[in-house]
Amino acid sequence: MSDAVENLNYIAGAWVGAASGATFEDRNPADPRDLIGLFPDSGAADVATAVAAVKAAWPAWAAASPEVRADALFKAADIMARRADAIAAELTREEGKTITEARNEARRIAANFRLYAGEALRLNGETYPSEAGQLVLSVRQPVGVVAVITPWNFPLSMAARKIAPALAAGNGVVFKPSEITPLMGQRLVEVLLEAGIPAGLIALVQGRGPSVGRAITAEPGIDALTFTGSYAVGKAIQASLSTDTRCQLEMGGKNATIVLADADLAKAAAVIERGAFGLTGQACTGTSRVLVARPLYEALVEKLAATAKAIKVGPGTADGVKMGPLATEAQYEKVLAYIEIAKAEGGRIVAGGESLRATDPALAEGYFVSPAVIADLPADSRLLREEIFGPVVAIRAIDTLDEAIAIADDTEYGLAVSLVTNDLSAVLRFTRETRHGIVKVNSPTSGVALNAPFGGFKHSSNQTAKEQGGATVMDFYSRIKSIYLGA
């Protein structure tokens, strides 16, 4: 539907193709006939060149004053704010989320840049009581070359909340965006370069995970690596790194919303709708399980079914659309496969779970499915335990808060969980006892404050350092050096 535009890597201060000359295609999930562009399909040679260039550039940036680093990030925030709507339109075309969701994400990037611009000025050390004639203090210094590997579901915000603190602390960055959303990676780098980030300090290396990702983890010049994605990939990354490479991994989730008997039904349904069906269910913090007190079970099933059926699905820029396509054909096939698993397990499909290609001619080319609500699944159902990453919510009845907490915690993940209730004593027990890194009350499992620490327990994170959160995250991007000064 559109002419292919060939895009480039940014390495050593120049826009270049892959050393091999290979490229890959970037297509619109709402209509894969729409070719967005061609991007470099990079490999180990490109990674090695990128790392060497960043390694040469970062000491000058580390020596720059905090004001210089802060000023560049403040300028990036202003540029991003001006371009947010234009970039959001490209984000909808590339990833599929609705234009409202895309604008929210694009505008949030400016806030991220401003937050970490401030942190560049607050990289404080401490002084410590010591013996007479001696001053003991600590200072923060950059780690060095930071590799940033990001997913496709939040291609702007995930990248910004890793790259911005890395730069604020005085590091250089080798950035590999997802091959599903390469244009968003390019746009973010363009904004940073226009803001005055020095040539060579950041490298953009496009390409597929098995080639570029593996080359990054094998590269000895990497001092730290931060990754968000699946547990399987994260586990492989950590195993491949040397022991002296810092590693921060944020991975999957199987998040539950618990609804107690005193909950307001309309509020509970609204909380679950946003958590389960927002962003087409493609959020690591999205709601995929609902554990509801038995007296409310049938009423909530009926309410959620009506809610799901009322959601208009279509291209993210179309009027009235509340849910866009799945991001890839693989995600589309995966969601439909889980619907079949639910049927085989005896689940009751009370709404959705259908491919819309055959039923709506306007959606015949895209990766569209209707939001699904599934009831009456057995306790050992795969849909209650495995991450689906799509607009599918499974509902199960519970009799006590103890039972709900036990079921919510009974997965390999521990990212986000929420509780809908007006019972303060239940809230206090729930927030204390559940084994999740993000615990919410009367609000969806998805959606987080950019200045609050983000991260899960168990297989949701390697738990070495929290992601985002203002000063908290700077512990990952800086080293603490203790200095003893004698007279």
State pLDDT tens for residues 96-121.
999 999 999 999 999 999 999 999 99
| pLDDT tens readout for residues 16-25 | 999 999 999 9
Tell me: pLDDT of 358 over 70.
Answer: yes
Q: Look up 387 and say whether it is catalytic.
A: no
What's the whole-number mean pLDDT along residues 78-86?
A: 97
Q: What's the pLDDT at 1?
A: 47
Domains in the chain, CATH or no CATH each: 9-251+462-486 (3.40.605.10), 255-441 (3.40.309.10)
Percent of the chain with pLDDT over 90: 90
CA–CA separation, 9 and 20 (whole Å): 12
242 pLDDT exceeds 90? no
Average pLDDT, the chain: 95
The single residue listed with the structure tokens 């969806």 is 444
Please report, to the nearest 10 degrees, the dihedral formed by the alpha carbons of residues 220, 222, 227, 231 taken in order.
Answer: 20
Asked whether the predicted pLDDT for residue 2 surpasses 70, the reply is no
> Average pLDDT in the 158-180 region?
97
pTM reported for the whole predicted model: 0.95
210: which 2 tokens? 């098995």
For the cut 70, the answer to whether the pLDDT of residue 15 exceeds it is: yes
pLDDT of residue 3: 60
For residue 387, give both structure tokens.
Answer: 């991450």
Digit-coded pLDDT (tens) for 428-442: 999 999 999 999 999
What's the pLDDT at 316?
96
What pLDDT is stored for residue 360 in this prediction? 86
- Quote the pLDDT of residue 4: 67
Residue 469 has pLDDT above 90, yes or no: no
Region 244-271: mean pLDDT is 95
pLDDT (0 to 100) of residue 285:
96
Q: Summarize the confidence of residues 309-331 as an average pLDDT.
A: 96
* The pLDDT of residue 465: 86
Q: Is 323 left (phi over 0), alpha (psi -120 to 50) or beta?
A: beta
User: Is it the case that residue 155 has pLDDT exceeding 80?
Assistant: yes
**What number is the average pLDDT over the span 223-234?**
94
Looking at 105, 179, 219, 250, which residue is catalytic? 250
Q: For residue 146, is pLDDT > 60? A: yes
Question: pLDDT at position 131, please?
Answer: 87
Secondary structure (H, E, C), the chain: CCCCCECCEEECCEEECCCCCCEEEEEECCEEEEEEEEEECCCHHHHHHHHHHHHHHHHHHHHCCHHHHHHHHHHHHHHHHHHHHHHHHHHHHHHCCCHHHHHHHHHHHHHHHHHHHHHHCCCCCEEECCCCCEEEEEEEEECCEEEEECCCCCCCHHHHHHHHHHHHCCCEEEEECCCCCHHHHHHHHHHHHHCCCCCCCEEECCCCHHHHHHHHHHCCCCCEEEEECCHHHHHHHHHHCCCCCEEEEECCCCEEEEECCCCCHHHHHHHHHHHHHHHHHCCCCCEEEEEEEHHHHHHHHHHHHHHHHCCCECCCCCCCCCECCCCCHHHHHHHHHHHHHHHHCCCEEEECCCECCCCCHHHCCCCCECCEEEECCCCCCHHHCCCCCCCEEEEEEECCHHHHHHHHHCCCEECEEEEECCCHHHHHHHHHHCCCCEEEECCCCCCCCCCCCECCEECCECCCCCECCHHHHHHHHEEEEEEEEEC
pLDDT (0 to 100) of residue 468: 86
Which pLDDT tens digit goes with each residue over 445-460?
Answer: 999 999 999 999 999 9
pLDDT at 132: 84
Residue 327 has pLDDT above 60, yes or no: yes
Average pLDDT on 66-73 reads 97
